[in-house]
A = this chain, B = another copy of it.
């Protein structure tokens, strides 16, 4: 790879030396790619003023060449061969914004082998192949940057890897999928059930025609995987995440949670414990007074608890072309500020140097211990006593127990907030409730997350 001698010799001058622009090859010119191209062009003076040099897209690979030509205009060579861009001698950095995992993995590994830095917004790629990609990057001394893969415009990877380096991170909790947060906000604000809220999200373009990745929690799990690795210095391991989406969430529970002073959010949670790391994506009750409860619509937020910093939170858009481009370009500026020195890999890919990575294991579901919300349909209001007796018999400590005020037409419902209890105890109690003559239908359980300091 070309190393800029001017930058190597005078990186400290802060004067307008004529530095060669950083040359970018881009694979994919869809939503994120076109946003990146547009923002780089619009803010080029400002970006160069910050980076100390220009950043230029010199080559683009796209499937639909006429469409791509309409976006990038004259003067930028186009190809339909991504590998041509990934390995081209004229590029310093590959921006991979095509998505997908198989071919993207090949392009990224080829670029790394050719000494190119890589910037990607592809969370699935890194969640599944991150270990292999980061190892290759380390061997070849290049950066693989992925701020746009985690929380759109929010610089949370930077916060974890650089801003909070003093801390032993205790937990990270995030609303990290804009589509599901939009749907949950609609369910609450307008009393819609899940299907109606999803349809509205699709009509407004907040949800894909095939929304499975979002509503089943997979997208959030991909992002959580990267957050957890950076927080704890653990390997990227998507397969270990307990994933639960919002497809079975009922409007009744949104309303009943409200009655108890909570809102339901799809949270990605990574928590370090003595025995290992909890990694889970699930709809959970958050206190209505908590800042996370006020993250509405398609917005995202990530909360981090460090032992020195205390709680910090990072909030921003959960989707969007230029919003994601903001993160992609920030990564390019990071590379531009160092490419040409021997320190391009200044920050380890996952925050910690390889020798300091931890092998903390992911904990199984049964080991997770939180408070729970239970909604128990009963035949008559008086049977709240029977529910209480049964929970006491299973040593599930109860914090609060009331009858649902909402939707009386559905019959009496006992709402329970438990104290923190192991999942195994909750499961046994729910089995027993389900078998009890007092209980008139399926018992619903959701976790309660205090997200307190």
Chain A interface (Cβ within 8 Å of chain B)? 8-9, 11-16, 35, 39-40, 42-43, 45-52, 138, 141, 147, 153-155, 158-159, 161-168, 233, 291, 294-295, 306-317, 320, 322-323, 325-330, 333-334, 337-338, 341-348, 351-357
Contact = CB atoms under 8 A, between A and B. Distances in A.
A48 B356 CA distance: 8
18 contacts: A8-B342, A9-B342, A12-B343, A12-B345, A16-B353, A39-B166, A42-B168, A43-B166, A50-B161, A50-B352, A153-B309, A162-B334, A164-B330, A165-B330, A166-B333, A310-B320, A310-B322, A312-B317
A403 B137 CA distance: 66
Contacts of A291: 291, 294-295, 315
Contact of A12 (B11, B158, B334, B344): B344
A316 B294 CA distance: 16
Contact of A341 (B47, B51, B310, B341): B341
Given A158-B159, A308-B325, A49 B15 contact: no
Contacts of A168: 42-43, 46
Contacts of A348: 14, 50, 52
Given A15-B355, A162-B330, A308-B325, A316 B317 contact: no
A387 to B, nearest CB: 34
A298 to B, nearest CB: 11
Of the candidates A14, A233, A354, A356, the one having the most CB atoms from chain B within 10 angstroms of its own CB is A14
Given A39-B307, A40-B166, A309-B317, 16 more contacts: A14-B348, A35-B308, A50-B351, A153-B312, A159-B159, A159-B163, A162-B330, A165-B333, A306-B326, A308-B329, A309-B327, A310-B322, A310-B323, A313-B316, A338-B343, A343-B346
Contacts of A312: 153-155, 314-317
Contacts of A355: 14-16, 49
A323 B52 CA distance: 32
Nearest to A354: B14
B341 A14 contact: no
A333 B153 CA distance: 24
Contact of A14 (B14, B313, B314, B353): B353
Contacts of A39: 166-167, 307-308
Contact of A166 (B166, B329, B356): B329
A50 B309 contact: no
A329 B327 CA distance: 25
A167 B338 contact: no
A7 to B, nearest CB: 9
Contacts of A47: 165-166
A142 to B, nearest CB: 8
A180 B28 CA distance: 49
B356 A162 contact: no
A279 to B, nearest CB: 20
Contacts of A309: 153, 316-317, 322-323, 326-327
A13 B141 CA distance: 7
A356 B12 contact: no
A322 to B, nearest CB: 4
A353 to B, nearest CB: 5
Contacts of A163: 147, 155, 158-159, 327, 330
Contacts of A48: 356
A337 B357 CA distance: 17
A326 B162 CA distance: 11
Nearest to A138: B14
B153 A308 contact: yes
Of the candidates A9, A327, A330, the one having the most CB atoms from chain B within 10 angstroms of its own CB is A330
Contact of A294 (B8, B159, B294): B294
Contacts of A49: 233, 352-353, 355-357
B11 A342 contact: yes
Contacts of A345: 11-12, 14
Of the candidates A12, A166, A338, the one having the most CB atoms from chain B within 10 angstroms of its own CB is A166
Contacts of A154: 312
A26 to B, nearest CB: 15
A9 B158 CA distance: 25
